[in-house]
Structures are given as structure tokens and as C-alpha cells.
Structure 1
């Protein structure tokens, strides 16, 4: 049950944000075994002077056009799945016309006890895990 946060420049069109999330979700399903119904995303926008990025750290990028993709998900994916995800999402970004070098992607792992979707409590207790 990942929760995606896509941090984007203010000027990036909403349609492109939607396409990025669609590709992100499909990539997670394909490479990390995510349930196709588990699609949760928050798009946050930032002004160009609200982000500080090194323009060449581990690759060239345009700081004014860079997006940050943050995925929080249950722990358990292998290093191979994660590497496949990173390659796959960048391929998909290129496919929709977004320059993949202008993306920073990272995963944050946690456990079922760390999620709650209702008054019933954690996902762990609700699902009896």
C-alpha cells in the first residue's frame, strides 16, 4: 500500500502530474508487486526558489524543472525489485515526455503498524496481521 508524494514545480501542468502518477503507480505494480487498487498520491507544488538542489550531484539536472518522487511503502522489496523500479519509472517518464534526468526518486519503507486508514486502527490490527 504505497503512498506516493510527487513534489513538482508550480508551472508543471496538472495533466502531466496525473500522467506521472499513473506511470509511477504502474511501475510499482509491475516491478514491486503493488496491488493495482492501492493508488494513493499527493502532488505538492513548489516555487522555483523553494527548492535547493545540486544541479550535478550523481547526474545533470535542471533544478527549476526537477520533480521529487517519494514513495512510502511496506518493507519487503528486494534490492533487485528496487533497482528495476528505478529504471522502469525513468523509462516511463521519458515515454510521457518528461526528462527523467530531472527526477529524484526515493523509497521510504515501513510496516503495517505504521498505517491507519480508519477509526478501526492500524492496518496491522484491521487485517489481523
Structure 2
């Protein structure tokens, strides 16, 4: 865990998209203790017509460079930990790739540990704390 989905415009190169994935993974390792090799990501580049976004929301102006990051994680992190995660992902994307901070959209989905199977039809985390 986590399962991360990253959606962005195909105006961004495949290399750029891969770097976004690497940054998200590294920040999650630092901020929410994601284990080494626990890197499950689906990265999709879209035509501009496939990303339907408002010009602005909550006073934030978006551009065609928007990056959607959605991570499914197990329950158990505090609001403070999540805030730090959002700030660290955004800061790393801004610093490393020159992404506009306004274009970093992050959503976390929290699930119980028994909702994960990493293969073999088993529920690997069901009995772990």
C-alpha cells in the first residue's frame, strides 16, 4: 500500500510523468513510512479534452499543466500527517520539476487493511497492526 494514480496532460512527456511518480513515491516513503519497493502506480497521460477542470476553484487558478494525484492508503494517519504529505509532494514537484503549486491536485482515499490483496488471492495486511 498505497496504490497511486497520477493523471496529467500528454503535453507532459513520459519522462516527466515517470519523474512525478518517483517524487510521489519518495515523499510518501519519507512522510507516511511507505516501505521500500511498495511502489504501485498507474500513470496516465491524457489528451486535453479528457481533463475537464474549472478555470478556478476556491481561489486557485488552474492551467493545462494540472497534475491529479490520487492515493489509496490504509486508515491511520492524522490530519497533521496528511497536511505534511500534501505540502511535501507539492514542494518537491515545484522544486524538482518546476510545476506550478496551483496545479498539484491531491486526493487520498482511506480503506481498512483487509481491503488489500497484493497477489496470490491473499489478504496480506488483514492480521497486521
Normalising by the residue count of structure 2, what TM-score does the alignment of the two structures yield? 0.89
Q: How many pairs were matched up?
A: 126
Look up the match of 1:38.
38
- Would you tell me which structure has more helix in proportion to its own residues? 1
Q: CA deviation at 1:121?
A: 1.9
- Structure 2 CA distance, aligned partners of 1:25 and 1:68? 14
User: Unaligned 5+ residue runs, structure 1?
Assistant: none
- Structure 2 CA distance, aligned partners of 1:60 and 1:120? 44
SS of the aligned residue for 2:39 comes to coil
Look up the match of 1:103.
104
User: Unaligned 5+ residue runs, structure 2?
Assistant: none
1:18-97 aligned at under 5 Å gives the runs 18-58=18-58, 59-62=60-63, 64-96=64-96, 97=98
Q: CA deviation at 1:70?
A: 0.4
CA RMSD of aligned residues (A): 1.4
- Structure 1 CA distance, aligned partners of 2:50 and 2:14? 19
SS of the aligned residue for 1:117 comes to coil
SS of the aligned residue for 2:56 comes to coil
Normalising by the residue count of structure 1, what TM-score does the alignment of the two structures yield? 0.89
Pair 1:119-2:116 in alignment:
no
